[in-house]
Amino acid sequence: MTTFIFGEAMLEYHSNGGAGLRYGGDTLNTAIHLARAGHEVAYVTAVGTDAISDALVESWSAEGIDTRYVLRHPARHPGIYAIHLDALGERSFLYWRDQSAARQMFDLPGISAALEEASHGELVYFSLISLAIVDDPGREQLLALAASRKNAGKAVAYDSNFRPALWRDLAVAQEASRLAMSVCTLALPTNSDERELWRTSEDENEIARRWIENGCELVAVKAAEKGCVLATRDTDEPREFQASPVRVVDSSGAGDAFNGGFLASWLNGDTLASSVEAGQALARRTLGHQGAIEFHTPE
């Protein structure tokens, strides 16, 4: 069965260089990791009808991603982001995405078919960025899909990846994430995102308990160098997993890689501990190379 991932993909420019067509985006990064792990993945987004959009779709298809629901906007193009790294490998971003095609994916022909197919898939995955880039009706459609699946006992995964600049005010972002929390079954939040979004000083255990109390069945709280905290509805206390030391080249996409590794293992039916270990291993690998995705340049 297929995992359906909703989100935005963008062209990537790196201040440290990098040849060839480069791209990224939180949900696309996870989609690529899942596809590389051998899972069936359909990516739902929108790009333009230009030559660069064609090249993006061709590249994603070559990764093994089902691109039938990469919709085409006749007047818009992919967004762009630039990454700059400091001496410790920590990244900062600049974005040019206000007119990206993905912002209008729910207005395009083909989205109804994508939502219908996704309702029957093995897993639906999206992030708070997925909810941020679309308008209110689009957000409602995605959350309705998630709610319908959860009510039917089907899996929905959600990452509360918070980018303040994408929201007109904090209250709207909080309400969108609160609704997403209530309709997901598997949560993959990051401690720093949660603290910034909710203006709290909660530790990882408190964050995990809050997600469970809000209706989630399984939550893995990413905590960078501290590791991960895992909680389920059936356990009394969250479980802590330590992170192994790693030399950080570039922190871009590490959380997306954890999500991809965790979900790939979880979809395989592995134990939750094995899924955390798989997520951490892929995150370590991503921290060790430049860019959110490891690109292989032909020799």
Rounded Cα gap, residues 151 and 27, in angstroms: 24
Q: CA 77, 79, 80: angle at the middle one, nearest 5?
A: 130
Among 136, 159, 256, 270, the one annotated catalytic: 256
Burial class (CB in 10 A: 0-12, 13-18, 19+), 102: buried
8 Å CB contact between 181 and 187? yes
Q: Specify the 3-state DSSP secondary structure of 180.
A: helix
**What is the bridge-based pairing of β-strands 79-85 and 91-96?**
antiparallel
Active site residue 256: yes
Rounded Cα gap, residues 145 and 116, in angstroms: 9
In the block, residue with structure tokens 């729910």: 106
Rounded Cα gap, residues 57 and 266, in angstroms: 27
Q: Could you tell me where the beta strands, DSSP code E, fall in the chain?
A: 2-6, 10-14, 23-24, 40-47, 65-66, 70-72, 79-85, 91-96, 123-127, 155-159, 186-187, 218-222, 228-232, 239-241
Amino acid at 141: Q
Give the active site residues: 256
